[in-house]
Amino acid sequence: MARMTIRYAIFPADPGAHLFQVTVEIDAPDPQGQRFTLPAWIPGSYMIRDFARNLVRVRALTGDGRRVRIGKTDKHSWQCAPVAAGQSLTLAYEVYAYDLSVRAAHLDTTHGFFNGSSVFLLPAGHEKAPCRVDIFAPRERRLRGWKVATGLAPARGTAPGAFGTYLAADYDELIDCPVEMGPFAAEDFTVEGVPHRIVITGRVAKLDTARLGRDLARVCATHARMFEPRTRRPPFERYTFLTFAVDSGYGGLEHRNSTALLCQRDDLPHVGMQSATEAYRRFLGLASHEYFHVWNVKRIKPAAFVPYDLRHENYTPLLWLFEGFTAYYDDLGVRRAGLITPEQYLGELAATFTTVLQRSGRRKQSLAESSFDAWIKYYKPDENAPNSVVSYYQKGALVAAALDLSLRAATAGRRSLDDVMRLFWRRYKLAGTEYAGVAEEDIAPAIFEATGVDLARPLRAWTRETADPDLAELLAPFGVVAERGAALESAHFALLGCRIGGGAEARVSQVFDGSPAQAAGLSAGDQIVAFDGLRAGGGRIDAVLARYAPGDRAEILAFRRDELLRFEVELARQAPVKWKFAIDPKASAGARRLRTAWLGMA
Ligand code: ZN
């Protein structure tokens, strides 16, 4: 029997008021009374967000126009009264959409964007039913030029990129295909014949879309080639990068055949730009990250996500594999695509190593614990986060690097972490609908199966315990020298061991464990007003500190709330360590071979 199709319609009814109008219609509602639910979170962003808070005026009607009683049973569920047999049921509601992030929905007179998880109610029991969505254009004359970009497949009769009808195989696909509508810029390119498109919303002067297409094509091809060395094809029919260029902001969310990216407009290349600026390299790293997720987390998944339960937290100890390994391969992919130099890549890796080692949180929380508690810690950081949390992105990336380097060194370059990722990918493809996801205890045996190298003990120490992967030592066989230097970017970080916000007020934002600031009693939120009797606000703190030497003593006056407090501080004798990874020009031929196999040719 053909499954009943769920019919959705969405209309940017009032861009000025940020309101989408949405309907969902089903033919054979539950005779006991149909229930509808909205997800509490969106996959890829591990925090309860309660999208239902933005639904307004939810009404229910039968096919012949009769009102149906409807009420809520919990924060994201609605219960309808039974309707007569043979009657269809339609819910109509508005969604307030004014969250300019990649996670929710946004509508104004410049564009509209939504994730299905923010706007489409699921009729309970119909998770597997096919869905169709009518996406309507805004009514206003001045918004006539709007187009559509989405990973959803257009139905027959709807041209790709036009307003009209789109299809999804089930609810999971429906909410995994965000939709952008507006007068965006776009560039098309292909990877092994598979169409790809990047659309850019937001004003960007002299945007070089051709370069974006060219560079992204190389990054995408690099990842596809790694997972599918034979066909080199990515696992979908088309892919869309939805990009919002804004004044400030950074982030991305991965989907099965698209991604939503938020970047600063200055991150994007302009016509005539010569080399890749640091900002553009950061954008390429972000795009590379989300594209790698096509395999790692959108298809290869932690067991806890098969299937997702969108009503509440889904706990997994493995975000270090799904986010951390992806963070390792994002910059590495940009390097292997030839868009940054080996030296630039090693610079990024050293920066991650430095950041992880500077924070004492890594001694108090393992990667498995950090993954498990992402919902209440990593996604809800407070001023003490560096002292209490380890990032499963950053330390996870170091673990990936450490595994990769260990495997390459142990096999004279014949095996690597790429083989492990391909093994996970093969297992996903072989399992089909039986796929059970990756369990923690599968990982060390999978590494052994793919490479013949047993790394169970270090893996456990790095992920279940709090050991640091020693990249400085692991890089040596690759002709890369690790150098310890001093982190001197700002005098207050080096000498006081805290972070102080910019701007007119010298306000302490973070105090690091074991620092002079902490020993003196300075706290997050304190506003420093004087240093040894001289005014220290107005961005002056670093200039004042520059005249002092390690170990000097000084007096700090600071406001805590509205109380003026006095602190005696002894400046740090040693600045925090900053690592540098440099290519050794005198490395042996064997070391050079290993490095080239890892990072590609210079
Ligand atoms: Zn990610």
We report the CATH number of the domain holding residue 72 as: 2.60.40.3650
Give residue 67 CA to ligand 1 midpoint distance, Å. Answer: 44
- Would 93 be classed as within a structural domain? yes
- Tell me the pLDDT band of 503, cut-offs 50, 70 and 90: confident
The domain boundary residue, chosen from 149, 181, 213: 181
Same structural domain, 167 and 70: yes
Contact 383, 509 (CB under 8 A): yes
| Residue 228 predicted with pLDDT over 60 | yes
My answer on whether 36 and 162 are in the same domain is yes
pLDDT at 502 over 90: no
The one-character DSSP state at 441 is G
The rounded distance, in Å, linking the Cα atoms of 252 and 234 is: 20
Position 357, amino acid = L
* Angle of CA points 126, 132, 138, to nearest 5°: 130
| DSSP reduced 3-state for 501 | coil
47-87 per-position pLDDT tens digit: 999 999 999 999 999 999 999 999 999 999 999 999 999 99
In a domain, 404, yes or no: yes
pLDDT at 1: 41
Share of the chain above pLDDT 90, in %: 96
Does residue 580 lie within any of the structural domains?
A: no
Q: In angstroms, what is the C-alpha Rg of the chain?
A: 26
Task: Report how far ligand 1's centroid is from the alpha carbon of 257 (Å).
Answer: 15
CA of 325 to the centre of ligand 1 (A): 9
The whole-number average pLDDT for the span 122-135 is: 97
Residues 404 and 263 in one domain: no
pLDDT average, residue stretch 116-123: 98
| Residues 176, 193 share a domain | no
User: In this structure, how many other beta carbons lie within 10 angstroms of the beta carbon of residue 455?
Assistant: 19
How many whole angstroms separate alpha carbon 557 and alpha carbon 569?
11
Tens digits of residue pLDDT in 545-582: 999 999 999 999 999 999 999 999 999 999 999 999 99
**Within-domain flag for 263:** yes
Distance 33 CA to ligand 1 centre (A): 39
Q: Report pLDDT for 602.
A: 67
Distance in Å, CA 38 to ligand 1 centroid: 23
Nearest to 231 by CA among 491, 425, 8: 425
Q: How far is the CA of 380 from the centre of ligand 1 (A)?
A: 17
CATH of the domain at 334: 1.10.390.10
Residues 313 and 432 in one domain: yes
pLDDT digits (tens, 9 = 90+) for 335-346: 999 999 999 999
161 plus 222 within the same structural domain:
no
* Vertex 368: Cα angle to 362 and 373 (nearest 5): 85
- 597 inside domain: no
- Give the range of the structural domain holding residue 435, as residue numbers without chain letter: 295-477
Q: Is pLDDT above 90 for 504?
A: no
CB atoms within 10 A of CB 587: 18
How many Å lie between the centroid of ligand 1 and the Cα of residue 395? 14
Answer yes or no: do 495 and 561 share one domain: yes
Residue 330 CA to ligand 1 centre (angstroms): 9
Q: Let me know whether 135 and 280 are in one domain.
A: no
Residue 95 lies in a domain: yes
Report CA(199)–ligand 1 centroid distance (Å).
20
Same domain, 424 and 348: yes
Q: Is residue 485 part of a domain?
A: no
Block residue for tokens 């000097």: 552
The total of structural domains in the chain comes to 4
24 and 169 inside one domain: yes
Closest CA to 132 of 287, 244, 26: 26
- Ligand 1 centroid, distance to 226 Cα (angstroms): 18
What pTM value is reported for the model? 0.97
CATH number of domain containing 529: 2.30.42.10
User: Domain ends where: 419, 452, 477?
Assistant: 477
pLDDT 10s digits, 141-162? 999 999 999 999 999 999 999 9
Domain co-membership, 436 together with 452:
yes
Per-residue HEC secondary structure of 268-287 comes to CCECCCCCCCHHHHHHHHHH
What average pLDDT does the segment 492-503 reach? Answer: 91
Beta bridge partners of 450: none
Is-contact 88 63, C-beta < 8 A?
yes
Nearest to 118 by CA among 131, 102, 132: 102
Verify that 115 and 15 share a domain, yes or no: yes
- CA angle centred on 97, ends 95 and 100, rounded to 5°: 160
Of 116, 148, 181, which closes a domain? 181
Give dist(CA 485, CA 494) in Å, integer.
12
Q: Tell me, in angstroms, the distance from the centre of ligand 1 to residue 293's CA.
A: 7
Q: Please give the distance, rounded to the nearest whole angstrom, from the Cα atom of residue 393 to the centre of ligand 1.
A: 8
Alpha carbon of 142 to ligand 1 centroid (Å): 37
The per-residue b/e assignment along 407-437, b for 16 or more CB within 10 angstroms, e otherwise, is bbbbeebebbbbbbbbbbbebbeeeeeebeb
CA–centroid distance, residue 232 to ligand 1 (Å):
22
pLDDT score for 273: 92
Ligand 1 center to 288 CA (angstroms): 10
| 595, part of any domain | no
Tell me the CA–centroid distance for residue 421 and ligand 1, in Å.
16
pLDDT digits (tens, 9 = 90+) for 356-397: 999 999 999 999 999 999 999 999 999 999 999 999 999 999
